[in-house]
């Protein structure tokens, strides 16, 4: 059995002071000047660590970056002059999908490499759109000393990428067929092609350096490969121009290549394999209403890897009422299973993977692994303000971030995600992430529960 996969994390302090969620308004004109102020007695030591900086920068209004909202200082102040408030700048972070909580949680994980914990508990809804309507099975959580990140039992998070044989053939006791090439990643997460506005400065070298350190892969546009160090190019998946394409760039000799879907995509795949050293070719498909049938056709024709691309909020591309990644993956996975070809092709999903829990939930819905982009940028302190798209200066100067600093923050984020994935697998009693694929029996869906419980009384829910 291989050694346990561990992502080593180290503190990576932010270059800019993060936007905190909670703060304490201190009406100091009524302060008694207690020698042992209740704020200095914070059980999380937050005020004690930041007191000098806060006093110099903001005076009487203290926004503490990692306040847990326990209200201990508010309740214990002898003069009742402390009040907890929500930072108005915090409310402007992110968007409707990448909520301020997700942004702040990503910053914390990128800084510390640890799982975020809230002393105030979970105060949000227990159901919502997309992944929020999925509840994972935690029936084995009664054995925390044996499983998870601190447990003695081995839990594998590695996945194989590439085409698999439908069956094995033997002659005289020996394998008579040659298995297709496979690439193994120790984590079911790869780094996706970054949007154009973020391909500047040292961001791409940071992403590829992080991929090389943790052993995963990064998708880069063919024109951007020369921007990254040669030492990290072994973990790069070149994304080539639409087929048919001339064999001009060095990226076309990589063992793992990605091409966009199109009328001649299978011919392009065959040409890449025949004329160059590409052993695995991934086909990138924008997810749409008919994507399940398209994936099935490509799988039957011999596609190695199919990469389904959703928008940044995890929705399929199309008019009307686009479905969430969750539903499209279940449809695609079920289609392949019914045709008996699911195990022959690798399915990657990207778009809308905003948190560690989304990795496990996407795999439950049928993906083999996921690709992420926006969380990588959030790890570099991005606030998703949109200034870069409008041609305005970035408030956190992403283009000035050092590649080493960026790589460390991304590695920390993946370390935290890996720990959370181990905890979820251990709580579900699953010893390897491969077994989680399509395992919808390990998950409850709000729509199914509502239909079975209340559907007989009230009928079908109106959209």
Strands of 358-433, DSSP E: 369-372
Please, which residues have CB within 8 angstroms of residue 124's CB and are 6 or more apart in sequence? 101
Mean pLDDT of the chain: 85
Whether 238 shows a pLDDT value over 90: the answer reads yes
Whether 220 shows a pLDDT value over 90: the answer reads yes
Tokens of 152: 């003695």
CA 43, CA 73: separation in Å to the nearest integer?
A: 10
Q: What is the pLDDT of residue 307?
A: 98
The position carrying tokens 């570099």 is 380
Query: Taking every pair of C-alpha atoms in the chain, what is the biggest distance, in angstroms?
Result: 91
CA 356, CA 380: separation in Å to the nearest integer?
A: 17
Distances (CA, A) of 169 to 299, 339, 342: 21, 21, 19
Region 201-224: mean pLDDT is 94
Poorest-pLDDT segment among 40-54, 119-133, 423-437: 40-54
Residue ranges covered by each domain of the chain: 22-86, 159-164+180-450
Sign, CA dihedral 173-174-177-181, equals: positive
Class of domain 159-164+180-450 (CATH, top level): alpha beta
Whether 16 shows a pLDDT value over 70: the answer reads yes
159 strand-pairing partners: 185
CA 247, CA 95: separation in Å to the nearest integer?
A: 41
CA 443, CA 265: separation in Å to the nearest integer?
A: 36
Distances (CA, A) of 10 to 178, 356, 408, 434: 43, 19, 7, 29
For every residue of 237-267, DSSP letters joined together read: EEEPPSSS--S-SGGGGSSEEEEE--TTHHH
Q: What is the pLDDT of residue 348?
A: 98
Q: What is the pLDDT of residue 341?
A: 95
Strand 189-191 to strand 22-26: parallel, antiparallel, or no bridges (unpaired)?
Answer: unpaired
CA 78, CA 256: separation in Å to the nearest integer?
A: 65
Strand 174-175 to strand 170-171: parallel, antiparallel, or no bridges (unpaired)?
Answer: antiparallel
pLDDT digits (tens, 9 = 90+) for 50-81: 555 555 554 444 455 567 778 888 888 888 88
Is 142 within 8 Å of 417 (Cβ atoms)?
Answer: no
Strand 22-26 to strand 82-86: parallel, antiparallel, or no bridges (unpaired)?
Answer: antiparallel
The architecture CATH gives domain 22-86? 2-Layer Sandwich (3.30)
Tokens of 311: 């928008």
Q: CA 111: distance to chain centroid?
A: 16
Is 416 within 8 Å of 113 (Cβ atoms)?
Answer: yes
Region 21-46: mean pLDDT is 74
CA 113, CA 347: separation in Å to the nearest integer?
A: 28
Poorest-pLDDT segment among 155-159, 241-245, 306-310, 456-460: 241-245
């Amino acid at each position: 059995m291989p050694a346990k996969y561990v992502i080593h994390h180290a503190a990576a302090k932010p270059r800019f002071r993060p936007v905190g969620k909670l703060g304490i308004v201190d009406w100091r004109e009524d302060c008694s000047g207690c020698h042992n102020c209740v704020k200095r007695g914070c059980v999380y030591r937050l005020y004690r660590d930041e007191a000098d900086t806060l006093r110099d920068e903001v005076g009487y209004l203290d926004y503490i970056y990692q306040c847990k909202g326990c209200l201990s200082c508010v309740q214990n102040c002898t003069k009742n002059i402390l009040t907890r408030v929500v930072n108005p700048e915090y409310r402007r972070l992110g968007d409707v999908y990448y909520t301020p909580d997700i942004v702040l949680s990503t910053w914390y994980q990128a800084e510390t490499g640890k799982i975020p914990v809230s002393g105030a508990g979970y105060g949000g809804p227990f159901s919502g759109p997309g992944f929020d309507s999925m509840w994972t099975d935690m029936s084995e959580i009664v054995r925390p000393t044996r499983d998870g990140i601190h447990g003695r039992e081995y839990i594998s998070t590695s996945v194989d990428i590439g085409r698999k044989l439908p069956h094995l053939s033997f002659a005289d006791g020996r394998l008579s067929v040659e298995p297709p090439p496979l690439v193994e990643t120790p984590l079911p997460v790869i780094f996706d092609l970054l949007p154009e506005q973020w391909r500047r400065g040292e961001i791409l070298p940071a992403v590829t350096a992080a991929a090389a350190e943790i052993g995963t892969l990064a998708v880069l546009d063919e024109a951007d490969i020369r921007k990254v160090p040669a030492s990290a190019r072994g973990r790069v998946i070149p994304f080539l121009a639409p087929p048919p394409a001339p064999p001009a760039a060095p990226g076309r000799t990589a063992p793992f290549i990605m091409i966009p879907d199109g009328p001649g995509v299978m011919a392009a795949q065959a040409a890449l394999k025949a004329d160059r050293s590409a052993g695995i070719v991934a086909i990138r498909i924008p997810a749409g209403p008919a994507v399940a049938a398209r994936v099935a056709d490509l799988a039957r024709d011999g596609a190695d890897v199919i990469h389904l691309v959703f928008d940044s909020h995890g929705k399929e591309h199309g008019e009307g009422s686009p479905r969430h990644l969750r539903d499209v993956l279940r449809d695609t996975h079920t289609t392949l299973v019914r045709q008996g070809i699911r195990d022959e092709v690798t399915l990657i999903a990207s778009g809308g993977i905003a948190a560690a829990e989304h990795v496990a939930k996407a795999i439950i819905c049928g993906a083999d692994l996921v690709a992420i982009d926006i969380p990588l940028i959030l790890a570099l302190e991005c606030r998703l303000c949109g200034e870069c798209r409008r041609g305005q200066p970035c408030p956190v100067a992403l283009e000035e971030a050092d590649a080493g600093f960026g790589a460390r923050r991304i590695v920390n984020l993946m370390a935290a995600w890996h720990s959370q994935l181990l905890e979820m697998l251990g709580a579900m009693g699953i010893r390897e992430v491969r077994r989680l694929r399509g395992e919808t029996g390990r998950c409850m869906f709000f729509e199914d529960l509502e239909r079975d419980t209340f559907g007989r009384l009230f009928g079908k829910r109106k959209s």
